[in-house]
Amino acid sequence: MRLSKKLSSLLRHRVVENGLGPVLRPDGFVPLDAVLALPGFRGVGVEEVRAVVECNDKQRFAMSTCGETGVLLIRANQGHTISVGLDDALLLEPLTEATAPPEAVHGTYTSAWASIKTSGLHRMSRNHVHLAKALPSAPGGVISGMRASCHVAVWVDVPAAIRAGVPFYRSQNGVVLTPGEGETGALPPRFFTRAVDLATGREIELGSGG
């Protein structure tokens, strides 16, 4: 658990400040030996990292081998706040109307709903708004993209948003992601199809923002 948290913090948020900016690839991968050379990973071996990657319940990480050099690489699959050096089209799978799910769901909390229903979903400090293909309670559940502790499920018409020019992507671990519209980083409420109180299963009235 401790190693997983350290890897998540580094690969999602702290690559540049730890001096790995020059070896960060546009697809999010960095050489594993460069990671293990950092003071915070002293004593950690390749097999320990491999076990974390393979056993992580949300499949937050991926490992690969550079075909040209044979160098072992690692990355976080999503959740980045790194503002430079990444290319969404290489890190993630771009979605089209044909390949996107008809809907995706964002999990939030009662305290945030009043703002969301009028101003939309915001990516906040992250590069993307995170959505899941289904609720955690659905048959088969979801690997990642929504916390089981959420109070409100906000469903989004993904193809409609794509038609309107909002980019959408899918991460390697199945999370549906969007940077929102323009510099605001918001996904407006006009793309919401419904909102559900997860405690009662009842639909919540949508706002009129967007």
Q: Are residues 65 and 133 in the same domain?
A: no
Cα angle 33-35-39, degrees, rounded to a multiple of 5 = 115
Q: Are residues 65 and 101 in the same domain?
A: no
Q: How far is the C-alpha of 7 from the C-alpha of 1, rounded, in Å? A: 10
Residue 82 lies in a domain: no
Task: Confirm if 198 and 152 have CB atoms less than 8 A apart.
Answer: yes
Q: Are residues 72 and 95 in the same domain?
A: no
Per-residue exposure over 33-47, b if at least 16 CB sit within 10 Å of its own CB, e if not: ebbbeeeebeebeee
% residues pLDDT > 90 (the chain): 81
Q: Are residues 107 and 133 in the same domain?
A: yes
Which tokens go with 59? 């499949």
Q: Are residues 105 and 166 in the same domain?
A: yes
pTM, rounded to two decimals = 0.90
For the chain, the farthest-separated pair of C-alpha atoms sits apart, in whole angstroms, at 55
Q: How far is the C-alpha of 148 from the C-alpha of 132, rounded, in Å? A: 11
Name 6's Cβ contacts closer than 8 Å, sequence gap at least 6: 40, 41
In 3D space, the residue among 185, 198, 22 whose CA is nearest the CA of residue 105 turns out to be 198
Give residue-wise pLDDT tens across range 7-63.
999 999 999 999 999 999 999 999 999 999 999 999 999 999 999 999 988 899 999
Domain final position from 49, 77, 105: 77
Q: Are residues 107 and 49 in the same domain?
A: no
**DSSP designation for 181:** B
Residue range(s) defining the domain that contains residue 184: 91-204
Q: How far is the C-alpha of 54 from the C-alpha of 50, rounded, in Å? A: 6
Q: How many domains does the chain have?
A: 2
Q: Are residues 65 and 107 in the same domain?
A: no
Q: Are residues 41 and 128 in the same domain?
A: no
CATH number, domain at 6? Answer: 1.10.10.970
Give residue-wise pLDDT tens across range 78-122.
999 998 899 999 999 999 999 999 999 999 999 999 999 999 999
Q: Are residues 112 and 134 in the same domain?
A: yes
* Identity of the amino acid at 168: F
Residue 130 lies in a domain: yes
Which tokens go with 100? 């996107």
Give residue-wise pLDDT tens across range 167-185.
999 999 999 999 999 888 8
Per-residue exposure over 62-79, b if at least 16 CB sit within 10 Å of its own CB, e if not: bbeeeeeeebbbbbbbbb
Residue 199 lies in a domain: yes
* Identity of the amino acid at 113: W
